[in-house]
Structure formats: C-alpha cells, structure tokens
C-alpha cells in the first residue's frame, strides 16, 4: 500500500474487502459509488480518490468481479450493471504514473471487453424474456452498461478504435430487436462524434461490416426510429471523409433509391436530403451496365452476409444448449449404468447367500430325516428322493425348452399372420376388380342336336295339350289390338308432354338462379353503366359465363392429383362424377321458351 495520505473511506473499504469472503466482495464494491458521488469532492479530490482506489486494487477487484458469472453474483444483473458504471467512473480522469503501459495497454482494453461481454449477455436475456417487468429491467441495465462504455471511451479516446474492432460490438449491433439496436447505434454515434478518424484506423473488413449492417437496417425495417438513427450515422460517416462517400456510392448502388422511396416523409427529411445530396455529388455519369450489376451483387451480398451472421449468432446458443444436453445425457447414462451394475452385483450376492442357505437347510433336513428313518428304509427313501429330484429337473427343462421353441416360432407366426392379412386384402381387391369389369360380349349358344330338338318339341306338344288356349274371334282380336294401340299412343303423348314440362321447369329454375346471382353481384344504381344494363337485357352473357365456369370445373377435375381420385379408381375415363359439376351447373341457364 502507498505511504501517502489516503482517503479514510477508501482505506476502510480496502480493509473490509481484504478481510471479507469472495461472496461479499461485490456488495462491498458498490460502496464506491457513494464515495465517488460525494457532493463535497472537487476535481482534484475526485482524481485523488480515483488514484487511491486504483492503488489499493479496488478497480482491479471490480474488473475481476465483472469477469465472473453474473447470474451468481449477489443482486445478479443489477449488481453487475452498477459495478460496470463504477468501473468506468473510476477509470475516467485517472492518470497512472507508475507502469502506465499496464494500465493503458492491458487494463483498459480488458475493461472494455468485459463491459461488452456483459452487454451481450444482457441483450440476449432481454430478447428471450417474455414478462414486461423483466424486459424493462434488462433494458435499463443494458442502457446503463452502454452508457458506462461511452463514458469510458469518452475519457480515453484511444479506446474508441478498440471498441469498434471488438467482435462483440459487432454482435451487439447486429440484432433485429428495435430498442437495443437504437441504443447500439447511439453508442456508434458517440464513437464517431468523439473520434471522427476512427473509421480510417480500423480494418477494412470491420468498416464494411458496420456499413453493411446500417444499410441492412434501412432496407429491412420500416421503424422510423431505426431508420432515423441509421440515416444520421451514414450522414455523419459521409460528412467526415470523401473516401467513405465514394465507398457508399460504389458499394451500395440502390442506397439512393432506398432513401428516396422508403424514408422520405418519415420525419427526418433534412438528414435524408443531405445524405442524398452527398451521394449524388459523387455519382459519375458514365456508369455502364456491368457496374450496375456489380453494385447490385454487392448489395445482395451485404444483405446475405448480414442474414448469415444473424443466423450463426442465433444458432450459437442452441449449439451450446445441445452440447450441454448431450453431456448431461451421457453423464446420466453412465450413472444409471453404474447404479444398475451395483444392483446386479447386490442381487447376485443375495442369490448366492439364499442358495447357500437353502443348501444348508436341505442338508440339515436330510440329516434329521436320516436320524428318524429306520436303517432298512434308508435306501428306499434315497431312491424316492432321487426320483423326485429327477422329476423336478425334467419339469424345469421341459418348460425352458417349450418357452425357447415358442419364442423361436413367434416371429414365423407373426409373418404367417401378416401373409394371411396381405392375401385377404389382395383377394378383396381382385374380387372388386372382377365385379367392376364389363361383361363379356354375348356369344351365340351352340346349336341343338336332332335328339335334343325332338325332345324339346315333345315337351312343347305335351304342354299345349295340357293347357289349351282360349278361342278368340278375329273381330275381338282386332278390337283388342286397336285398344292397345290407342293406350300406347296416349302414354307416349303424355310422357312427351311431361318431359317438356320438366325441361321447362328446370329452365325456369336455372334462369331464376342466374338472375338472382346477377342481381347479388350487380353494382349499385349510382355505379351502373350501359355495359351492366346489357348483361340484364341479353341472355348470352350469363349463359356464356356459366358455360365457361362449367368447362373450367370439368378441366379442374381432369387435373386433380391421383390422391383425390382414389375413390374413382375403377370408373371410366370419360365419366365425371356429378358432384364435381353440380355446383356450377345448378345455376346454368338452359335455353328454351318461357
């Protein structure tokens, strides 16, 4: 510890942290906020306290705590956000005289990296959270961390390039969430405002990634807040360096059209017009078709790279979750295997003990029986015991063999049943096809032989003798014939009249349906034209319309996929089911007289 006069609060806090456990250190470090924000401190006293805090290692403690798992800290994310704010305030205004390279080249970049990691985790939690209260809390903590980052590189300008080149800053900027995207674009705006030459200091790949993301946000969103922030950033970039304006004009060919068509009249026309003026000044007049295609390909590639980067970033947590799940499943499987092995060993030992106990009881029972049985009956008793033992062994063996044979035949039995089911289905299919097959053409029967003809003639003669016909005169026969002819003519005339009446009824019903449909689809009286009047005065238009609808319906049926015609597999090709055309033909006008 230094020997110069030290602030007593800092000294006391350093002593408490030295004597405290690791779990209590984060809460003790929060007291630095009260020490730094004391209203009685002047500029020199504040810098002296910051120097004491750094000399006693409290700033290093804050950085170490931020590198831990934030969810395990007391107070969790709220404590981490406050420590980030304290760390940035402790570093701004601090001038390290002893070993400055350690502070400026290692400590400050490490602090920036830790704050960006904390911001990335808060952003991920904010996106995944569903409850509104938790989302507001995570958004507040995220904004606190970003403000701490801005405060830190505002006090140390050389850190602006370090922030911009950090991969986590690009990950924070590439997001589809509106609120966090606006906050990150404000951070980028502060970087460019504090150190306007930082874009020329970073690598070309980093510069292209930042510009690609800004242009992608303009092309993929309609939110005015996101569009305004992205436009202002591009305007700031274009105002800074003419080289960057040339890059915007050459790399993003459709940027001018996008700004003029999509973002004009959104409330920030002044910035849009200024950016368009700068872009049009750099646009050359002699651009060929090849250059247009090149710029279009660059725009597509920028959008594709942004999409691919987002896709990889979205899949990264899922990959980690999958890895953790597989590891836990493997560990659980190993634990189950060990548990099962121990149970098997315990069961084997228990069975061995039971077997030994049973053998001992059996021998004791045999000795007891030998003492009771007369010596002359010992041989007979032993023979009976051997027979019983043989029967027991045979019974167990036959049961084992029968079970084994059954399990061997089980698969063949299942295959036999499956074959029976398949054969039954095939027989049913063949029977259906046979029934629906058209009848074979009539074949002329074979001629009768002379003996068969004589036998049939004899049967006919015998029947006529047994059933003689009644005699009728010629006049009665003619009269009966005339009556039959008159009734037949009357029936044919009546059936023709009934058929015409049925056709007329169908025509009238179809005409009524057509008129009703035309009236329902007709425009209002105020919107009626002479063309609409012609539809009601002439019958040709509705007839043609309904005929066209009927024709389209039949065409649709012929183009149906095979799975829609499964029920009609045995129908003729030229037969169309009534249900396919009834809906259209019911309202078709059938020509005829009223």
Same domain, 547 and 426: no
CA distance 174 to 234: 16
pLDDT recorded at residue 148: 85
Tens digits of per-residue pLDDT, 211-242? 888 888 888 888 888 888 888 888 888 887 77
453-463 pLDDT, tens digit per residue, is 899 999 988 98
Do both 18 and 162 map to the same domain? yes
Do 420 and 543 lie in one domain? The reply is: no
Q: Is residue 544 part of a domain?
A: yes
Run of H or E residues at 579? helix 578-585
Domain of 424, in residue numbers = 380-430
pLDDT, average across residues 400-413? 87
Whether residue 402 lies inside any domain: the answer is yes
Q: Is 485 contained in some domain?
A: no
Instruction: Examine the pLDDT at 586 and tell me if it is beyond 60.
Output: no
pLDDT of residue 584: 42
* pLDDT higher than threshold 70 for residue 95: yes
- 143 CB contacts (<8 Å, ≥6 apart)? 183
Is 473 within a domain? no
Q: Are residues 43 and 162 in the same domain?
A: yes
Q: Final residue of a domain: which of 202, 226, 249?
A: 202
Lowest model confidence (mean pLDDT) among 318-327, 413-422, 520-529: 520-529
Look at residues 167, 184, 202 and tell me which one is the last residue of a structural domain. 202
Q: Indicate whether 57 and 185 sit together in one domain.
A: yes
Quick one: 416 and 542 in the same domain? no
CA nearest neighbour of 214 among 203, 230, 226, 237: 230
Same domain, 45 and 181: yes
369 in any annotated domain: no
pLDDT recorded at residue 278: 79
Tally of domains within the chain: 3
Handedness of CA 299, 303, 308, 309 (dihedral sign): positive
Domain presence at residue 127: yes
Residues 558 and 409 in one domain: no
pLDDT in tens, 120-135: 888 888 888 888 888 8
Separation CA 580–CA 553 (nearest Å)? 7
Q: Does 140 lie in the same domain as 21?
A: yes
Residue 154, token pair as written in the block: 């505002």
Domain endpoint, select from 148, 175, 202: 202
Residue 368 lies in a domain: no
Q: How confident is the model at residue 301 (pLDDT cuts 50, 70, 90)?
A: very high
**Do 411 and 543 belong together in one domain?**
no
Question: How many Å from the N-terminal Cα to the C-terminal Cα in the chain?
Answer: 117
CA distances to 122, 264, 508, 540 from 513, in Å:
66, 53, 9, 15
Task: Evaluate whether residue 443 is within a structural domain.
Answer: no
């Amino acid at each position: 510890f230094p020997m110069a006069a030290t602030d007593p609060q800092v000294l006391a806090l350093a002593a408490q942290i030295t004597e405290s456990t690791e779990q209590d250190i984060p809460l003790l470090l929060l007291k630095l906020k009260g020490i730094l924000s004391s209203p009685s401190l002047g500029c020199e006293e504040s810098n002296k306290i910051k120097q004491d805090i750094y000399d006693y290692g409290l700033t290093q403690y804050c950085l170490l705590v931020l590198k831990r798992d934030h969810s395990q800290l007391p107070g969790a994310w709220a404590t981490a956000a406050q420590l980030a704010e304290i760390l940035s305030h402790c570093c701004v205004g601090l001038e390290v005289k002893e070993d400055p390279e350690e502070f400026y080249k290692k400590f400050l970049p490490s602090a920036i990296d830790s704050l960006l990691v904390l911001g990335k985790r808060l952003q991920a939690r904010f996106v995944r959270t569903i409850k509104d209260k938790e989302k507001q809390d995570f958004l507040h903590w995220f904004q606190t961390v970003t403000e701490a980052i801005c405060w830190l590189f505002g006090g140390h300008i050389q850190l602006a390039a370090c922030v911009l080149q950090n991969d986590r800053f690009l990950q924070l900027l590439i997001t589809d969430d509106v609120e966090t995207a606006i906050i990150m674009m404000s951070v980028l705006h502060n970087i460019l405002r504090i150190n306007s030459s930082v874009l020329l200091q970073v690598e070309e790949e980093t510069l292209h990634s930042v510009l690609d993301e800004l242009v992608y946000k303009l092309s993929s969103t309609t939110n005015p807040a996101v569009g305004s922030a992205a436009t202002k950033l591009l305007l700031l970039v274009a105002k800074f360096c003419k080289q960057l304006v040339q890059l915007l004009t050459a790399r993003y060919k459709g940027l001018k059209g996008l700004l003029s068509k999509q973002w004009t009249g959104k409330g920030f026309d002044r910035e849009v017009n200024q950016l368009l003026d700068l872009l049009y000044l750099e646009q050359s007049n002699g651009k060929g078709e090849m250059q247009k295609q090149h710029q279009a390909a660059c725009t597509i590639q920028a959008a594709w790279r942004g999409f691919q980067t987002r896709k990889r970033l979205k899949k990264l947590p899922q990959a980690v979750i999958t890895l953790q799940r597989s590891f836990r499943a493997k560990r659980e499987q190993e634990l189950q295997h060990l548990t099962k092995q121990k149970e098997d060993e315990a069961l084997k030992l228990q069975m061995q003990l039971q077997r030994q106990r049973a053998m001992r009881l059996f021998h004791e029972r045999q000795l007891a029986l030998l003492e009771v049985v007369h010596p002359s009956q010992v041989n007979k008793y032993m023979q009976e015991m051997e027979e019983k033992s043989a029967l027991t062994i045979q019974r167990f063996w036959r049961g084992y063999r029968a079970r084994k044979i059954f399990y061997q035949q089980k698969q063949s039995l299942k295959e036999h049943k499956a074959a029976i089911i398949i054969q039954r289905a095939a027989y049913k299919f063949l029977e259906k096809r046979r029934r629906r097959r058209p009848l074979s053409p009539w074949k002329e029967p074979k001629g009768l032989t002379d003996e068969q003809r004589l036998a049939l003639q004899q049967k006919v003669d015998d029947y006529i003798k047994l059933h003689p016909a009644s005699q009728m005169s010629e006049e009665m026969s003619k009269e009966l014939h005339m009556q039959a002819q008159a009734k037949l003519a009357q029936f044919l005339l009546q059936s023709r009249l009934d058929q015409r009446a049925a056709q007329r009824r169908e025509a009238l019903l179809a005409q009524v349906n057509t008129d009703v449909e035309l009236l329902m689809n007709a425009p209002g009286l105020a919107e009626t034209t002479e063309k609409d009047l012609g539809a009601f005065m002439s019958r040709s238009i509705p007839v043609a319309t309904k005929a066209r609808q009927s024709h389209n319906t039949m065409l649709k049926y012929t183009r149906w996929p095979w799975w829609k015609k499964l029920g009609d597999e045995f129908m003729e090709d030229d037969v169309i089911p009534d249900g396919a055309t009834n809906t259209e033909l019911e309202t078709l006008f059938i020509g005829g007289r009223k």
